[in-house]
A and B are shown apart, each in its own frame.
Chain A
Amino acid sequence: MAVQEPAEPMLLPPRHHWRAVAAVAVSVVLAAFVASLAGNPNMQWDVVGNYLFSGQILDGLANTIILTILCMAIAIVLGIIIAIMAMSGNPVLYWVAQAYIWFFRGVPLLVQLVFWFNLALLWPRIGLSLPFTDIDYTISTNVLITSFVASVLGLALHEAAYMAEIVRAGLLGVDSGQSEAGRSLGMSDGQLLRRIILPQAMRIIVPPTGNEVISMLKATSLVAFIAGGDLMTAVQNVYSHNFRVMPLLIVASIWYLIVTTLATFLQFYLEKRVGQGFSSVASRSKRA
C-alpha cells in the first residue's frame, strides 16, 4: 500500500489588514477632492484650456526658461570663482568670498530683486567717469537696469552664493591623494584644478545643482513682483484683467510641473555622465 506523501505546504504572505483599510481611506479622500476640483464650476477648465497655449503665456514661459538658464550659468561660473577664493591662501580673497556668501545668502531674494530694480535711487547714472578729465562714459541707471536685467542680477547673484557652497563641498570631497598625484607629475595649480579636481568634484556637484535648477525655475516667479516678464508675470497680467485667478494659476502650475519634470530627467542623465569611472560595482571592488 502506497504511503500518502504529505502535501508540500504553500508559503503565504502575511496578512495586512490595516494596509487595506488605510489604502481605502486615503483613496476615498483623494477621490472626493479630485471630484470636487474637477467638477467645480469655479475652476473654469475651459479657461485653463484657452490660455494654456496662448501667445502671452508661452512668451512668459520662454522668459522663465531663459531666466533660469542664464541665471544658473552666471551663478555656476561665479560660484566656482567664489569657492576657489574661499579656499585660497590669500586672506583678502578668503574674507571677500565669505562676506559675499554671508550677504547674498542672508538677504531674502525678493528684497534683493526689489533692490536691483530700484538701483537708480542709489546711483542715478552708472559707468566710468574719471574726475578732472573729460572722460565720462555713463548711462542712466533706469535705461541700463530694465526689469529683466534686475531679475537676472537678483536671481544670479543670490544663487551664486549657494553654488559657491556646493562647489566648495565638491572640491573638498575629492581625495587629497589626487592633488598629490597631480603635483608629483609637475602639474600647475590651474591644470590640477581643471583636469583632475573639478572633473571629479562634478560628481558631487551635479546632484545638488540639479536641485538648484529646479528651485531656480520656481524662484523666477518672484520676478513677477518687479514685472520681470516671466510666466508668473504673464499670468498676473491676464488675471488682473479678467479676474480668472484660479484657472490661470492652474495654467502656470501645469507649465511649472512640465518644465521641472524635464529638468529632473536632464539631471538624471547628467549624473550618469559625470559618474564615469565611478560605477557602484567598481567602487565596491576597489574597497575590497
Chain B
Amino acid sequence: MQAMVQISRLNKSFGAHHVLQDINLDIEAEKVTCVIGPSGSGKSTMLRCINRLETPNSGTITVDGELIGYEREGANLRELSTRRIAQQRARMGMVFQRFNLFPHLTVLQNVIEAPIQVRKMAKAQAEADAMRLLGQVGLTQKASAYPSELSGGQMQRVAIARALAMKPQLILFDEPTSALDPELVGEVLEVMRELATTGITMVVVTHEISFARDIGDRLVFMADGQIVETGEPKEMLANPIQARTKEFLSRIK
C-alpha cells in the first residue's frame, strides 16, 4: 500500500514544551486515518505540521512523495519560499475546529474564492463546481447566505465544500465536530461518512470514537507528544495493547 503522507522523526516545541517527540507515521492513500488522544497530546499540532501551518523544529514530511516546506540542497534542506509553500498547501484541504469561514463573503463566494484566486479558474466554472459541492453537503439553498446566518453544523459543511473545491489529494480534519452543539454533530459526520466513500485520503483528529470505529480504516492513539499505538480501529478499540491506550479508552467510555 502506497503512503500518501510520510512523517519522519518529526519534532516540534513551543518554547520549553516539547509537543511532538520524534513522530514517525505513514498515512495510507485513499484511507481514513483517525487520530485520537487526550488534549495536549499533539494531535492537532501534527496535523498542522502536514500543511505547514506550523513549522517543525526537525524532521521531514512528504506528501505524495514531495517534501513539504523544503528542497534538498546538497546534504541540507533549504526552506522553500512562501509562494512555493502556498502551492504545496493548495493540494491539501483543511477543515478547522472553529470553521474559519470568511465572514465577509457569502457561502458561494467562500467556496469559489480559492479556485478563482489560486487555481485561476473561470468564475462560471468555479460557480458550477461550487453548486455541485454545496449539493453534496446539502446546502444548495444557502448559497447566497452569509456565514453568520448559518448554524454551526451548516458552517462546517460549507467549510468542507470549500476545502473540496480545490480538488485536494488529501483532506485534514482538525476536530471538526468539537465546537458544535451535540445535536449538530451528526450532520457533519454524515457528510464526512459520504466523503470517505469517494476514496479521498482523510486524516481526522477527533474525539468521536464511534466515527473512528465505523468509518476509520486506521486508528492512531497519541499521548504526551508520542504515538502510543496504531491499529485497525475495531480491533484496537476492543483490545488495546498499551496500558496508556487502555486507560484513555476506559475514561472516555
Contact = CB atoms under 8 A, between A and B. Distances in A.
Given A184-B51, A184-B93, A277 B100 contact: no
B87 A186 contact: yes
Interface string B165-197: 010000000000000000000000000000000
A186 B90 contact: yes
Interface string A174-187: 01011011111111
Given A200-B103, A278-B104, A184 B89 contact: yes
Q: Which among A181, A188, A200 has the highest number of chain B CB atoms within 10 Å? A: A181
Interface in A76-96: none
A40 interface: no
Would you call the interface of chain A mostly helix, strand, loop, or mixed? helix
Contact of B148 (A177, A185, A278): A278
A178 B100 CA distance: 6
Interface in B131-150: 146-149
Contacts of B162: 185
Contacts of A188: 82-83, 86, 118
A183 B86 CA distance: 7
Contacts of B30: none
B113 A195 contact: yes
Contacts, number: 85
Nearest to B159: A181
B49 interface: no
A188 B114 CA distance: 10
A180 B53 contact: yes
A43 interface: no
A285 B151 CA distance: 8
Nearest to B51: A184
B211 interface: no
Interface in A157-187: 175, 177-178, 180-187
Interface residues of B, number: 34
A148 B162 CA distance: 51
B103 A278 contact: yes
Nearest to B165: A185
Contacts of B146: 276-277, 282
A286 B103 CA distance: 11
A15 B106 CA distance: 52
B87 A184 contact: no
Q: Which among A199, A285, A286 has the highest number of chain B CB atoms within 10 Å? A: A286
A177 B90 contact: no
Interface in B62-94: 82-83, 86-94
Nearest to A199: B104
Given A184-B92, A184-B94, A186-B89, A178 B102 contact: yes
Interface in A181-203: 181-189, 191, 195-196, 199-200, 203
A283 interface: yes
Contacts of A181: 94, 96, 100-102, 159
B2 interface: no
B114 A277 contact: no
Contacts of B198: none
B105 interface: yes
Given A181-B100, A200-B104, A278-B148, A187 B53 contact: no
Nearest to A275: B104
Given A177-B96, A279-B148, A185 B113 contact: yes
Contacts of B234: none
A201 to B, nearest CB: 10
A275 to B, nearest CB: 9
A195 B96 contact: no
A276 to B, nearest CB: 6
B142 to A, nearest CB: 13
A277 B92 contact: no
Contact of B86 (A187, A195, A199, A285): A187
Given A180-B96, A181-B159, 12 more contacts: A175-B100, A183-B86, A183-B89, A184-B163, A185-B93, A185-B118, A188-B82, A188-B83, A196-B102, A200-B103, A277-B147, A282-B146
> Which 10 residue pairs of A and B lie closest in terms of their CB atoms, listed nearest first?
A186-B90, A282-B148, A181-B100, A185-B114, A184-B94, A177-B100, A277-B146, A186-B118, A186-B89, A277-B104
6 contacts: A186-B166, A188-B118, A191-B118, A196-B102, A277-B104, A277-B105
